[in-house]
Every structure is written in structure tokens, then in C-alpha cells.
Amino acid sequence: MPRKRTNKKGLKRTVIVEIIVDKRIHDVLLSIANILAMAYNEINYMRRRLFFDKKLTPEAMRQTYNEVYRKYADEYKTADGHCLLGSDTLQAVLNLSDDNWRAFFMLLKEKEVLPSWFEVNPPGYSKSGKRRIPFIRLKSRQWELSGDTIIIKGVPAFGLRAVLKIKGGVHWSGERGELMLRYDIDGKKWYAYMQFYGTEKLYSDGWRTVPLPLPGSGIAGIDLGVNNLFAVYSITSDGRHVSALFNGRPLKSIWFYWKHKISMLQSLLSGLRTSRRFRLMHRKAKMQMKNYIDRQIRKLYRWLREHGIGTVLVGLPHDIVHREGNEFTERIWMYGYTLKRLKEVAEEEGIEIRFIPESYTSSTCPLHGRDCGKRILRGLFKCTKLGKVFNADLTAAYNILARGISITPSPRKRDRGNGLKTQPEAESKKCGSKPPRSGGNSRPLRRGGGQFVESIYHHKQLRF
């Protein structure tokens, strides 16, 4: 039967670690995981048939659950009549099907408000191509973490208890959730997906309670991009205007490096559309890109905390892949993953995050509104009334901030020129040079210039 839901305190997080196994443990895990994957695929097959025949009712859901449970519990028994797979284990796998179908029906109810391109499909099967993906799902009371080992209980096929050694650290502590053991059929490795409702997290200076205390009352607007992964314009607690740019160009370097390697391999294996090596290359490229995004997000929130920012407004690039789909937005940017991580890290840092529509923010003059200004070259915006040139990403970040709060622009009366303002690069302490002076007739720098500059309103600005 479907399980009862419990309210657990803490931030829901999943820690993924590799399991170190020998041949004997691998064979035992694989045999059990294949049986459980078969049970999951079978119950989904039965429910899909009923759904397409318009006969899938709550009563039919319960019947399919009981039918599959009895079948596998009776077929795989120990000598004393107990379920070899473990009653809790089999229930956890069938509950996964219940969760997926429940989410599917919720999406069906909201289909009218979803984008036209969004396809709502019933839950599928645990497979990749024509290959079944083996997995084991355990309830919270069936496992515990002790140092660098996972102790599994309540699965007769493992004996009284099984001890699995893991590779990697666990940086979350709190109430345990469910555990999934999944076999990577391409990498030929076992991975453990440990769910925690975290109340403590391991930082460089030790364990700290999360969420962290509110850093301050400042507010910031953040624009997402490719060349500049994050453009930040903020107003600190003491009223200072501070801005920064976080570099996103290494994402392009990672992608084009692996794209070249994959194309070279494809030229040698002409006619072969996919292979294990291709899939591993794509996975490695994606993992490296995600790792870079994670590091930049951590840098971003450290910067926000240092400046006492307690609220961030993030520009939401709504439906950009389908409106402006290209290699950069589909392969490199990974803005869906970026938005997800921004929200998760904000929860840990105790910072409020809100998403604001970003339409026309980079083409709206921060001084005079929509009736002034135009984009010139790439990454630059010109105010046509004053003749000033601004960084387009910072302009977007300012306008995102202005949509969330009321800001009255007040540029200085004495015009010092703004050529250098369009290309912020690094802190003067890091680059070892003094902040340059900008004369009244200074020209905009070409893209790529490395200078310490001020923000679009003559306020301090950094680039990471």
C-alpha cells in the first residue's frame, strides 16, 4: 500500500558516492537490483496499459500494487518463508512508482498553464535504450552510515547485515531519508544516492548548522549569461552600490574541447551513432561543466555574504531554449541546473531568493527607461541621451534589481567619462596595479581588456 508521508525537518539533499565492491558483492547486488528493476518495470507496464485504456483509477492503482508485491514476495522466498528481497525493499521500489504516477497526475491537472512545448508523459521504465538499469531502493530504517561504510539491514539476500565501503566524503548530517543503490551500466560502477534532511553541513572550517544566519539586509540583482555567468548589482546594508562579474567563458572551453574529441572519435568510427565511449565523453563534459558552475555559485554566495546581502533577485530566462535555441543555450549554458543550484545554495546560506522576469532588462536604459538607449557591439549598451556606454550585463542586473525595489538613479554631475566602466576585470590587489584614472575623453576598451574599474554609477566593481 502507498506509504504515509512524514514531515521531516532540515534541507532535503542527496549525497552521491561510489561504492567499492569486489566480484562477490557485485554479483549479489546485481542479481537483487535486476529483480527489483523488473518489479518496477512490470508495475509501470500494467499501469500504462490501464492509463491508455482510460481505466487507471485509484482502486486500480492499489490492485496493481498488491498484485506485483504478492507475485515477487511469493516468487523469491527464503527457506523460512520470508521475502528474500526484504518486504521494506520491495515496498520502497513500488512506492517509487506511486510517487512518479502521483507527480504525473499533478502535471496533468496543470497542463493548461504549462508551455505548449512541454510534453506530459506517463512514467516510463528503468532502462537505457534496450538495457535495463538495475537499482535497489531502501527505506530510511534499512540503512545507516558509519564512517566510510554503509550498513544495510532488513534484506535477507544480504544476510543479517551488509557492510558496503564507500569512496568519497559525506558533507551532510541530519535525519536519514531513503537510499538508492544504482548500477552505472556504462561506467560499470555502483553508486549510492543517500538522502538526508540536513541540519549540519561540513565547511572548510568545520561543521556548521544550516541554514546559516542572515548575512544582512542588502539586496542584489543577478543576471545570468554565458560569457558572464553572473552579473551582480547590489545595494549593501549601509547603502553602498557594489557590482561584480563572474566569468562563464571556461564553460565554452570545456564544451568545445570535448566536442572536438567526440568529433575526432566519430570520424574514426564512421556510421556509428552512439557507443559507450561517446556516452562517457558526454557525461564527463557535463560533469566538468556542472563542477565549474558549482564553484562559481559558491564564490557568488561568499561575495554576497561578505557584502551583507540578504535578498537576491535573479533574472529568469523564461523559455529561452525554445525561443532562442542554439549551441550556447542548449549545450553550454545549462541555465536550468544553474537556477536549481542557486536556489539550493541560497537555502543553505540563509539568503532569500526570488526570480524576476528578465525580458528587456539588458536593452532598457538604467537612467531613462525604455525610451532611451540601444545595444551596440556585444555586451555593451549605450544611453543615447547622455552618450554613455554601459556593460549590458550589469545594466540587466540593475534593471532586475529595480523591478524588485524602487531605485532612483543619480549619476554624478561632473562627467568623468565611462570608457573603462564597460570592462570590469579584477581586484587591484590581485592584479597588482593601482586603479587607473579615466579621463573625460576616454574611449571604451575593446572586449577582453583587464582593468579594475567602477560600476555603471561610479561604484566599486569586481570581476571573478
- For the chain, what is the mean pLDDT? 83
Q: Give the residue from 208, 243, 275 where a domain finishes.
A: 208
pLDDT at 406: 63
Same domain for 180 and 222, yes or no, is no
How many Å apart are CA 172 and CA 10, to the nearest integer?
11
Give the pLDDT confidence of 191-244 residue by residue, as tens digits: 999 999 999 999 988 999 999 999 999 999 999 988 899 999 999 988 899 999
- Say whether pLDDT at 65 is over 70: yes
Q: What is the pTM of this model?
A: 0.83
**Residue 307: count of CB within 10 angstroms of its CB:** 20
Residue 437: inside a domain, yes or no? yes
Nearest of 59, 13, 68 to residue 37 by alpha carbon = 68
Q: Do 179 and 74 share a structural domain? A: yes
User: Residues 82, 100: one domain?
Assistant: yes
Is residue 258 domain-shared with residue 175, that is, in the same domain?
no
User: Domains in the chain: how many in total?
Assistant: 2
* pLDDT tier at 145, thresholds 50, 70, 90: very high
Choose among 311, 249, 257: nearest CA to 286.
257
Task: Please write the tens of the pLDDT for every residue from 284-308.
Answer: 999 999 999 999 999 999 999 999 9
Strand 309-316 versus strand 352-357 pairing type: parallel
Residues 186 and 251 in one domain: no
186 and 247 share a domain?
A: no
* Domain annotation covers residue 2: no
* CATH number of the domain bearing residue 293: 3.30.420.140
Indicate if 170 and 266 belong to the same structural domain.
no
Residues 419 and 381 in one domain: yes
196 and 251 fall within a common domain: no
Using the 3D structure, point to which of 208, 232, 259 is the last residue of a domain.
Answer: 208
Residues 287, 327 share a domain: yes
In a domain, 6, yes or no: no
Among residues 208, 241, 274, the one where a domain terminates is 208
Is residue 227 in a domain? yes
Q: Is residue 213 part of a domain?
A: no
pLDDT tens digits for range 398-432: 999 998 876 655 444 333 334 434 444 333 333 33
- pLDDT for 77-125, tens place per residue? 887 878 889 999 999 999 999 999 999 999 999 888 887 778 899 999 9
Q: How far is it, in rounded angstroms, from Cα 46 to Cα 410?
A: 66
Quote the domain boundaries for residue 303: 218-463
Rounded CA separation 102/123 (Å) = 10
